[in-house]
Amino acid sequence: MGLFSKGPSITESCSYAIQAFGSGILKLDGDVRKRVSPVALGAVKGFIANQSYTEQEKNSSFTMFQIISGTVGVIPTSQLNTYGQARDVKEMIESSLPFDMPMMIMGPIRMVIEEYITGQSMAEIDYKKFDKNDARQLVHALMTGIEIVNTRCVQEPKKHNQNEVMCMAHLSAVVAQYAKEQLL
């Protein structure tokens, strides 16, 4: 981008990241969505609360997420202090996206998120047990969102830039913390 190029604002970039995660939640099976929606809403509400938005922007962003994710009417879980948590998740996403061969990078991102949530290395995680846990279902939705952001940033870098990756990384760290503390 040139010196005078105008890209999306940080508010728009965060909205795009929130939309992508909402799409991931919507793609979950209906029963699973019902179980994980309060935690997803709590995470998004906490993420939005940490942004320097006006009150109207906060409300609009949260309502947008509810509509996109199919969670209108669901009550979010209680707020957590996520400041400084899940740094590995945030750093992995920021350092690896956008990547033109997503199949190569999505696996390592998933691994870092799952290791953070479970507190175990990949070799130690009991995947038979973890597969049945709602935290893993939230990881599936998060990975869908990360893939959407990666694809948009690769295909349209002027409309979807590194700010969107940064917002998705921060959102992912918040979601991972909520999954760890409220679903595991």
Q: Is pLDDT above 60 for 127?
A: yes
**Structural domain includes residue 5:** no
Q: Is pLDDT above 50 for 1?
A: no
- pTM of this structure: 0.92
Q: How many structural domains compose the chain?
A: 1
Average the pLDDT over 160-166 and give the result. Answer: 92
Average the pLDDT over 108-112 and give the result. Answer: 95
Confidence of residue 2 (pLDDT cuts 50, 70, 90): very low
**Structural domain includes residue 1:** no
Q: Report pLDDT for 33.
A: 96
**Structural domain includes residue 124:** yes
Q: Which of 5-14, 40-49, 110-119, 134-143 comes out lowest in average pLDDT?
A: 5-14
pLDDT digits (tens, 9 = 90+) for 14-66: 999 999 999 999 999 999 999 999 999 999 999 999 999 999 999 999 999 99
pLDDT digits (tens, 9 = 90+) for 72-104: 999 999 989 888 889 999 999 999 999 888 788
**Structural domain includes residue 28:** yes
Range of the domain at 174: 10-182
**Structural domain includes residue 3:** no
Q: Report pLDDT for 3.
A: 47
Per-residue H/E/C for the chain: CCCCCCCCCHHHHHHHHHHHHHHHHHCCCHHHHHHHHHHHHHHHHHHHHCCCCCHHHHHHHHHHHHHHHCCCCCCCCCCCCCCCCCHHHHHHHHHHCCCCCHHHHHHHHHHHHHHHHHCCCCCCCCHHHHCCCHHHHHHHHHHHHHHHHHHHHHHCCCCCCHHHHHHHHHHHHHHHHHHHHHCC
Q: Report pLDDT for 5.
A: 53
Task: Determine what percent of the chain is predicted with pLDDT higher than 90.
Answer: 82
